[in-house]
Chain A
Amino acid sequence: MYQEIILDHYKNPHGRGLRDPFDAEVHHVNPTCGDEVTLRVKLDGDTVADVSYEGMGCSISQASVSAMYDLVVGKPVTDALETGEHFMTLMQAKGDPSVAEKLEDELEDAVAFAGVSKYPARIKCALMSWMALKDASARALSAQPTAMTGGSTR
């Protein structure tokens, strides 16, 4: 389960820290174990301009948010959410290697989490950041009804 890529992201997380400006901030917890993440999304039109975060939790939850940062920043929101759906599919694969193979291009580093899907207790750890992103994106979009304004500060 603990692939080298996961441990690298855990020890040297990408994009960590909360940054301004942002359009929405959410706080998600995993109540069975107390993992937490605070995540901010900044949109530029319909593109994810930045995802910034602080969190505490196990290597899986913390590496997952770091790998997610690499995958979604600079992408259209719809693509980012689609990637989240692919990650969800990977988490439901119960360790089936063919699923991971198919998703290699879409998920890049995040495909290393395939092993997590064999451990039902840990799947929520890996999914927490993606759930937070989905939530924050939805809030950011609804906070920007015109969707193309961008650059709002608060």
Chain B
Amino acid sequence: MTQTVSRPGAGAQQVPLPLDVEAIRADFPILTRTVRDGKRLVYLDSGATSQKPRQVLDAERWFYENINAAPHRGAHQLAEEATGAYEEARAKIGAFIGAPENEIVFTRNTTEAINLVAYALSNARTAKEPEFRTYAVGQGDEIVVTEMEHHADLVPWQQLCERTGATLRWLGLTDDGRLDLSDLTTVVNERTKLVAVTQQSNILGTINPLGEIVARAHEVGALVLVDGAQSVPHQPVDVTELGADFLVFSGHKMLGPTGVGVLWGRYEVLDKLPPFLTGGSMIEVVRMEGSTFMPPPQRFEAGVPMTAQVIGLGAAVEYLQALGMDRVEEHEKALTGYALEKLAEIPGVTVIGPPDTVARGGAISFTVEGIHPHDVGQVLDDSGIAVRVGHHCAWPVVRRYGVPATTRATFYVHTGYDDIDALADGIREAQRFFGVVPAVSSESGAS
């Protein structure tokens, strides 16, 4: 590749990267800008939101310039074309995760997709249609989450329990950043109605053993919702293999636009859920006395949808498919391995999460002894390096590991070894600035 070989004596190995980083970077207009007085933008915050390639931006512009109309209403040519493009994108996005199009519901983002399910389960209690009461949650029922969930996959379930009188239970974490499944069979039991679990932790990077959890949940008749916000963008995900009942993810974390997320649900489950948001588009017949609703997915898409964003997400999916999700996963695995080695060379740096690339994605959270994560982030920012600092919307995780916050670097298709070298140099610079390491230490890590 075009990357420079690491200096002799340095421990971190640069295996050839599966993706052509330079060619990919040329697709991302934002990567040509500079930050903080002319510095190259080193964007290591894709886990928060990804940058967008020109192909995605062009698709949105194409929609507005050529066929803009409200889909699923109106009989004019533009409305037909907009409906066609919207539904074509739905099929494309479904195929990306191995799902038929009628199981794909568009939401605003992952957060809204999870709220949709949580509210459907409480709305089920009072639904007048008996079949909509199938999955009703109430007193005596239990909802299971894990201690590593993003707030988006925790707070809606806390709230569901408060609305319905159900009990929230959770699986804890081990010291090395993995789920503690030793009490899986007691936590997930006959009272469990739903298990919500992330496929890839946004803060620890951990990839969870979903097979075991799904098997246990289905054994006791519980539904399983998988938070794929950090997995669908970074690894091949096939809902048939997953075996879960719901998968949720966000467009903006996978090269797509903001404002579009996806709820995938098994059709027979979706079909028995009452709506969350109601209004136009999702009705069958409306009378003053009451209304009936469309089958899925329309039942869950009230109002004029985010058509341009859906089409943009369709373009993002095409872009990722052209790269190949297997290669995207391999690419990030190589970067993760390199980054973990580079960070291990720096005295005082501690990674919070699995220490190697086994069952691990590219979210690397770390602390630097003697320097608060905000200050690490600030010094990195002054060098043009964008990372995330704080609790990463996973406050229970930082509390579990006894740190106030972490600094987090995340990677994507345009990330190269040069970005990780810049990160490592930036951390050493922060250590020099705050005087927490001896002056000679900048070279000592390699020995």
Interface, chain A (partner B; CB < 8 A): 1-2, 7, 32-36, 56-62, 119, 122, 125
Tell me the B3-38 residues at the A interface (CB within 8 Å).
none
Q: Chain A residues near B378: list those with CB within 8 A.
A: 1-2, 58, 119, 122
Contact B372 A59 (CB under 8 A): yes
* Interface size of B as a range: 10 to 19
- Would B390 and A60 count as touching, CB distance under 8 A? no
Tell me whether A34 and B433 are in contact (CB under 8 A): no
The interface residues of chain A lying within 8 Å CB-to-CB of B405 are 33-34
- Does the CB pair B433–A58 fall under 8 Å? no
A30's nearest neighbour on chain B, judged by CB, is: B390
Cβ–Cβ contact A125 & B433, under 8 A: no
A34/B395 contact (C-beta < 8 A), A2-B433, A56-B404, A57-B404 known = yes
Q: Chain A interface secondary structure, helix, strand, loop or mixed? A: mixed
CA distance A34 to B389 in the complex (A): 10
Complex CA distance for A62 and B370, rounded to whole angstroms: 13
* Separation of A7 and B395 alpha carbons in the complex (Å): 27
Q: Contacts A58-B372, A60-B374, A122-B378; is A33 near B391 (CB within 8 Å)?
A: yes
Name 16 interchain pairs, CB-CB below 8 A, sorted by A. Answer: A1-B378, A7-B434, A32-B390, A33-B374, A33-B389, A33-B391, A34-B390, A34-B395, A34-B398, A35-B404, A56-B372, A58-B373, A58-B374, A59-B372, A59-B374, A125-B374
Q: Which of B219-233 contact A (CB under 8 A)?
A: none
Q: B375 at interface (Cβ–Cβ under 8 A)?
A: yes
Chain A residues, Cβ within 8 Å of B398: 34
CB neighbours (8 Å) of B389 from chain A are: 33
CB-defined contacts of B390 to chain A, threshold 8 Å: 32-34
Q: Which residue of A lies closest to B406 (CB)?
A: A34
Look across to chain A and name the residue whose beta carbon is closest to the beta carbon of B374.
A58
B433–A57 touching, CB < 8 Å: no
Starting from the known contacts A59-B434, A122-B378, 12 additional A-B residue pairs (CB-CB under 8 Å) come to A33-B374, A33-B390, A33-B405, A34-B395, A34-B398, A57-B372, A57-B404, A58-B372, A58-B378, A59-B372, A119-B378, A122-B374
**Which residue of B has the minimal Cβ distance to A60?**
B374
A residues in contact with B372, CB < 8 Å: 56-59, 62
